Amino acid sequence: MRSARVEGDAPHGYEARPRSLRLFHALRSIGRCPVTIPHTIEPMAEVFLPFRTSIVKLATEVRSTLIMSGIQTVRAQGLFSRYSESLSPEARERILGLAAGVWVPVDVAVTHYTTMDRLGIDQSTIESIGAEVAARTWKHIMAPTFARAKRVGRQPWEHFRHAHDTLTNTWRGSDVQVFKESPTQALCEWAGQPCAAIPYFVASYGSYMRALTNLFSSRAFYRIVPERCSPTTLAVRLSWVEGEPHETPQGVQPSPPIDAGPSVAAPPRGTKRH
Least confident segment among 140-149, 170-179, 236-245: 140-149
Radius of gyration of the chain (CA): 18
CA-wise closest residue to 248 among 111, 154, 185: 154
DSSP assignments along 41-79, one per residue: S-TT-EEEE--S-SEEPPP-EEEHHHHHHHHHHHHHTT-
Running DSSP on this structure, what letter comes out for residue 22? H
Give CA–CA dist 43/186, Å, rounded: 13
pLDDT at 216 (0 to 100): 83
pLDDT at 158 (0 to 100): 84
pLDDT at 228 (0 to 100): 93
5-60+124-241: CATH topology: H-NOX domain (3.90.1520)
Q: Find how far residue 23's CA is from the centre of its chain.
A: 15
CA-wise closest residue to 221 among 267, 254, 179, 259: 254
pLDDT of 5 over the 70 cut: no
Give CA–CA dist 73/250, Å, rounded: 13
pLDDT at 137 (0 to 100): 78
pLDDT of 256 over the 90 cut: no
- Measured CA to CA in angstroms, residue 193 lies from 34, 76, 112, 177 at distances of 23, 27, 14, 13
175-182 β-sheet, strand order? 46-49, 175-182, 185-191, 233-241, 219-224
The DSSP element (H or E) to which 239 belongs, if any, is strand 233-241
pLDDT at 20 (0 to 100): 43
- Measured CA to CA in angstroms, residue 148 lies from 74, 162, 172, 178 at distances of 32, 10, 23, 19
Give tens-digit pLDDT for 148-164: 666 666 688 988 988 99
pLDDT band at 45 (very low <50, low <70, confident <90, very high): confident
Contacts of 48 (CB under 8 A, 6+ apart): 157, 160, 161, 178, 179, 180, 186
Instruction: Express as a percent the part of the chain with pLDDT over 90.
Output: 53
- Tell me how far apart the terminal alpha carbons of the chain are, to the nearest angstrom: 43
Question: What pTM was estimated for this model as a whole?
Answer: 0.76
Least confident segment among 91-105, 132-146, 171-185, 219-233: 132-146
Largest CA-CA distance found in the chain, in angstroms, rounded: 59
User: Which residue type sits at 267?
Assistant: P
pLDDT of 2 over the 90 cut: no
23-27 long-range contacts, CB within 8 A, separation 24+: 23/197, 23/199, 23/202, 23/226, 23/229, 23/231, 24/226, 24/227, 24/229, 26/199, 27/199, 27/202, 27/203, 27/224, 27/226, 27/229
CA-wise closest residue to 166 among 235, 212, 199, 128: 212
Domain ranges of the chain: 5-60+124-241
